[in-house]
Amino acid sequence: MAFSFFGGIHPKEKKELAEHKAVQVFPEPDILVIPMAQHIGAPCKPLVKKGDTVTMGQKIGDNEGLCVPVHASVSGTVKAVEMRPHTSGTTMMSVVIQNDHQDTLCPEIQRRTIEQVEALSAQELMGIIREAGIVGMGGATFPTHVKLSSGMGKVDTIIVNISECEPYIVADDLLCREYPAQIISGLKLVMKVLGLKTAHIAMENNKPAAAKALKWELAPKDGITIDILPTKYPQGAEKQLIYAITGREVPSGGLPAAVGCAVFNAATCKAIHDAVYEGMPLIRRIVTVSGDIVMDPKNLLVPVGTCFNDLLEAVGTRENPYKVLSGGPMMGASQYDLAVPVIKGTNAVTILGAVNKYVVEQSRCIRCGKCIDACPMKLMPVLMYKSLQSGNIEEMKAQNLMDCIECGCCAYTCPACVPLVLGFKAGKQHIRDAALAAAKK
């Protein structure tokens, strides 16, 4: 049974620009920049140095704790190990590789037969997933092996997220149409690790071709249900999707496992298949490159480490971009430097023109309440913003500011154009800084 979560909006989808474009293999660039931080948790420590020769799929960074390794997406020579611009808006230690265009495969990469995979235990599968550097590929980039490990014995419902509710983005839609067998295979491995016989694939009703492709790969004995949901943003947000499928509400500050659920992106499932059966780490992903000024929108299979500049050249623009986003227009991060590379969580590069440029001087809340109606977390953005203006940390906490998922629904509906999400991000950082300062006392 499908439930409709509270709030949400219906922005113009703009998916028609790229949804009929088949996935193209992007020509490997001469230079690739591989950041040591492509996941939530501790950044990797480089395992290579300038002048080293690397092979495709070779581990070039790793660390302990909440961390997964990163790998070379091409073969070639390490040109530098240095700080480079990152999609987060900071600089990050990165390995810069001069591509030799030979695609020499790392000798450690070996395929496994069906029989070999069936003989693997849950712990062995999680070890393979960890060593392949797999993270949540919908944007959150949480290490997948940690999510699986923490969910064992607690989770009774697996949900594969193919909502892809952001405008312009169709990467997961195309992934499902072109690689349905691999997605189902990866999902079955997740089910094996968590010891469950059933699972849900959740997608919005604007992806009929993807739903058809996945249904073709399923048999009744698989125990996998495809749930078609009404199109509504932000359906792909983890807590909203869990409610839409199960009717369960994740408590404030809680994780999906608290209500017996685990959510995985479709691209993550395919990456699990590739790691377990093909032995291939996560070094490539599909990226939608689209936008209102793009001349030839595309869905590209891109090596991790490809710079945004190369992608813009591949699609062309009718005018100089006003804004280039890593991700979609609702939650994507605006980039200050197009030398930033594609990382594991980059599902789209959205390029917007000057028509999107608008500035409201001294925008002020008119207390219309539209933000409250739109907030899918049932928060009070109008009061949250008031607490930000006062600078009162305790008041921010009282308004549950940390529960904000930064989806942008409030800002989208605000007739006064108040920069709500920008303010909430700053407020959350103030709370974190205050907690850190208190811990040091």
**Do 396 and 263 have their domain in common?**
no
- The pLDDT score that the predictor gives to residue 221 is 92
**Do 254 and 374 have their domain in common?**
no
Residue pLDDT, tens place only, 60-88? 999 999 999 999 999 999 999 999 999 99
Say what the alpha-carbon torsion angle 431, 437, 438, 441 is, to the nearest 10 degrees. Answer: 180
- How confident is the model over 303-320, as a mean pLDDT? 97
The answer to the question of residue 199 being in a domain is yes
Instruction: Judge whether residue 431 has pLDDT over 90.
Output: yes
Instruction: Judge whether residue 136 has pLDDT over 70.
Output: yes
CATH number of 192's domain: 3.40.50.11540
| Distance of alpha carbon 125 from alpha carbon 370, whole angstroms | 47
Instruction: Judge whether residue 359 has pLDDT over 80.
Output: no
**Do 259 and 148 have their domain in common?**
yes
Instruction: Judge whether residue 1 has pLDDT over 70.
Output: no
- How confident is the model over 106-124, as a mean pLDDT? 96
Domain boundary among 235, 261, 278: 278
What pLDDT band is residue 402 in, cutting at 50, 70 and 90? very high
**Do 271 and 383 have their domain in common?**
no
- How confident is the model over 135-145, as a mean pLDDT? 91
**Do 382 and 274 have their domain in common?**
no
The answer to the question of residue 330 being in a domain is no
CA 430 distance to own-chain centroid: 25
- The pLDDT score that the predictor gives to residue 360 is 76
**Do 263 and 387 have their domain in common?**
no
Structural domain total, the chain: 2
Provide the percentage of residues in the chain whose pLDDT is more than 70: 100
3-state secondary structure of 41: coil
Domain boundary among 235, 263, 278: 278
What are residue 225's DSSP bridge partners?
200
> Phi/psi of residue 348, each to 5°?
-160, 155
| Distance of alpha carbon 271 from alpha carbon 111, whole angstroms | 14
The answer to the question of residue 431 being in a domain is yes
- The pLDDT score that the predictor gives to residue 2 is 63
What pLDDT band is residue 439 in, cutting at 50, 70 and 90? confident
Provide the percentage of residues in the chain whose pLDDT is more than 90: 92
The answer to the question of residue 20 being in a domain is no
* Token output for 81: 């190990």
**Do 270 and 380 have their domain in common?**
no
Q: What is the mean pLDDT of the chain?
A: 95
**Do 136 and 259 have their domain in common?**
yes
* Token output for 281: 């780490």
**Do 250 and 381 have their domain in common?**
no
Task: Give the strand pairing for 70-71 and 157-162.
Answer: unpaired
| Long-range CB contact pairs, 184-187, < 8 A, 24+ | 184/214, 184/217, 184/218, 184/222, 184/224, 184/269, 185/269, 185/273, 185/277, 186/268, 186/269, 186/270, 186/271, 186/272, 186/273, 186/274, 186/276, 187/158, 187/160, 187/224, 187/264, 187/269
Looking at 86-95, 141-150, 174-183, 353-362, which range is the least confident one?
353-362
The answer to the question of residue 46 being in a domain is no
Residue pLDDT, tens place only, 170-214? 999 999 999 999 999 999 999 999 999 999 999 999 999 999 999
- How confident is the model over 311-326, as a mean pLDDT? 96
Residue carrying the six token digits 């293999």:
25
- How confident is the model over 3-12, as a mean pLDDT? 92
**Do 257 and 154 have their domain in common?**
yes
- How confident is the model over 221-240, as a mean pLDDT? 95
**Do 273 and 383 have their domain in common?**
no
Query: Residue 226, Cβ neighbours under 10 Å: how many?
Result: 16
The answer to the question of residue 192 being in a domain is yes
**Do 123 and 271 have their domain in common?**
yes
The answer to the question of residue 253 being in a domain is yes
Domain boundary among 278, 300, 317: 278
Enumerate the H helices of 46-159 as residue ranges: 114-118, 122-131, 144-151
Domain region containing 274: 110-278
The answer to the question of residue 23 being in a domain is no
pTM for the full model? 0.95
- The pLDDT score that the predictor gives to residue 138 is 86
- The pLDDT score that the predictor gives to residue 287 is 98
The beta-strand segments (E) located in 117-260 are 157-162, 199-204, 224-229
